[in-house]
Amino acid sequence: MATPTKYPTAPLKCWPKAKEIRQQYYKDYAEAHDRGGIRWSGGAWAFDAVPMGLGDDVHVMTGEPYAASIAWDRKFAQECQDATDAKGWARDLCSYMRIYWGSMYLNRFFFGGEFPKPDFYYQSQICCSHSKWDQEASLHEKVPYFCVDVCVGPYETLDESRLNYVVKQLHDSIAGMEKATGRKYDDEKLIAAVHNECRSTSLWAEICTLNKAVPAPLDEKTMFSLYVLATLQRSSKQVADYYEELRDEVKDRVARGIAAVPYERCRIITDTQPPWGFLKIYRYMEQFGVVSVGSVYTFGLEGIFAEQEDGSWGPRKTPQQLGIKIKTRDEALRVTADWNLSRPCWQHFYDPRIKTRMMLKMVKEWKINGVILHLNRGCEGLTLGSMENRLGLIEAGVPVMTYEGNMADEKEFDERRTTSRIESFMETLGLKQIPEAAVAHAA
């Protein structure tokens, strides 16, 4: 077998900075009270720009990325799950939730010390687990909880009354936060945070769009460590600035033909969270010359996309780019509500066919040869409809492989079976291991 083309590769220059931002984020959260600041916890889909109006010393810790960090440490993850099981919770609940609760019950913070108790919980409700997750956490920690129901239907059906329903709740949540913290709310800080939120999530969508290039400048395993910043705090200026730097670097990689995977000859997309403790399956696929260029999940969990003038998928234009000036609290809340309701990963909660459409768009525009679907037992919300997606893709002639697992509970993942299944899938795609890539992997 002839060795396929080897593209030049290079590490991302701004990679260490992403790591620093992430480390500082957890440190700031843990130490916030030492400096008289405020801590809140909740979901990565909470309207995180809203609490920013409480001051510059407000720090957040979102539950999903925190649990995903723990999932990588399989021993501590198991201890957390055991602690949650011991409380009588069912094993088939959201595995992020189980880990977060376990860390809370054990009073052990993954990054050292005791579990930092937040001053309040703030969450949005679209996934059934989310609202119950923070309800239990707030009851356990005996702190207030504010939850915003965003189940108003897919964005394409959004009308004024549905938007008002969400905006009204956001207003109410601000009143609740003021009462809970005794602080006066600053609308200017909210407006700045909303600008940053739009900027960071549009930039992430732009970065994902750059991955249409062949060879792909980023592989999904790397993207997991980059998209996470938006899940931590997308309304942060630091995150928005970072994504600008990253976008410029990725643009430069595209211009210079720098690849993420040296022997790229087959491009796939995946779906939902990966089994975090076993990301090596992505490296395994690289031995066949396969690059996963992303997923509806990696792209659309935080990235905000919109149809471009030519009909393709790309970043949604921010209010700033459209020349919209936000002047009041209500305007800011309307912008953040509308912006978040257009999030790709919120659309398929209403109908799996919406996701199939997005996947087919990705298949076409990102030049995809196959799709791997993770039937993720740890996240019912994002896995609901996966088999419908499979059928839709197959009907469109796209090769699909499925595997069962769990993003954060290794008990439900079988590494041998999964790699064996991947190998069979590679065979159906006409791919054999590239000896040079296998040697590089072993090294």
Asked if 295 contacts 183 with a C-beta cutoff of 8 angstroms, the reply is no
Query: Token pair for residue 79?
Result: 């201890």
Verify binding: residue 399, another protein, rule CB under 8 A: yes
Closest to another protein by CB, 388 vs 423, is 423
Alpha carbon distances (Å) from 361 to 21, 296, 355, 370, 396: 32, 10, 10, 13, 11
Verify binding: residue 423, another protein, rule CB under 8 A: yes
- Beta carbon of residue 418, minimum distance to another protein (angstroms, whole number): 10
Which of the ranges 46-54, 132-140, 231-239, 424-432 carries the binding residues for another protein, by CB under 8 A? 424-432
- DSSP conformation class of 92: T
Closest to another protein by CB, 263 vs 425, is 425
- Beta carbon of residue 412, minimum distance to another protein (angstroms, whole number): 7
Verify binding: residue 436, another protein, rule CB under 8 A: no
**Binding residue for another protein, selected from 28, 414, 415, 436, defined by CB under 8 A:** 414
Residues 233-272 that bind another protein (CB under 8 A): none
- Beta carbon of residue 404, minimum distance to another protein (angstroms, whole number): 5
Verify binding: residue 331, another protein, rule CB under 8 A: no
- Beta carbon of residue 424, minimum distance to another protein (angstroms, whole number): 4
Verify binding: residue 416, another protein, rule CB under 8 A: yes
- Beta carbon of residue 413, minimum distance to another protein (angstroms, whole number): 9
Which position has the token pair 């899938």? 425
Rounded CA gap, 233 and 228, in Å? 9
Give backbone dihedrals phi and psi of 375, rounded to 5 degrees, phi first.
-80, 90
Closest to another protein by CB, 176 vs 399, is 399
- Count of positions on this chain that bind another protein (CB under 8 A): 14
**Binding residue for another protein, selected from 412, 431, 434, 437, defined by CB under 8 A:** 412
Verify binding: residue 441, another protein, rule CB under 8 A: no
- Beta carbon of residue 290, minimum distance to another protein (angstroms, whole number): 16
Alpha carbon distances (Å) from 226 to 11, 218, 293, 394: 13, 10, 13, 30
- Beta carbon of residue 265, minimum distance to another protein (angstroms, whole number): 18
Strands (E), 262-369: 266-270, 290-295, 305-307, 313-315
Asked if 441 contacts 303 with a C-beta cutoff of 8 angstroms, the reply is no
Closest to another protein by CB, 365 vs 423, is 423
Verify binding: residue 421, another protein, rule CB under 8 A: yes
144: amino acid identity, one letter: P
**Binding residue for another protein, selected from 23, 367, 428, 439, defined by CB under 8 A:** 428
Rounded CA gap, 46 and 66, in Å? 14
Residue 60 in 3-state DSSP? strand
**Binding residue for another protein, selected from 330, 427, 435, 439, defined by CB under 8 A:** 427
Asked if 368 contacts 338 with a C-beta cutoff of 8 angstroms, the reply is no
Closest CA to 48 of 216, 156, 245, 201: 201
Q: Which residues, 6 or more positions from 48, have their beta carbon under 8 angstroms from its beta carbon? A: 42, 60, 62, 122, 193, 197, 233, 234, 235
Verify binding: residue 420, another protein, rule CB under 8 A: yes
Closest to another protein by CB, 323 vs 430, is 430
Per-residue x/- marks for another protein, 207-236, CB under 8 A? ------------------------------
- Beta carbon of residue 379, minimum distance to another protein (angstroms, whole number): 16
Q: Which residues, 6 or more positions from 179, have their beta carbon under 8 angstroms from its beta carbon? A: none
Vertex 279: Cα angle to 15 and 235 (nearest 5)? 45
- Beta carbon of residue 354, minimum distance to another protein (angstroms, whole number): 23
Tell me which residues touch another protein (CB under 8 A): 375, 399, 404, 412, 414, 416-417, 420-421, 423-425, 427-428
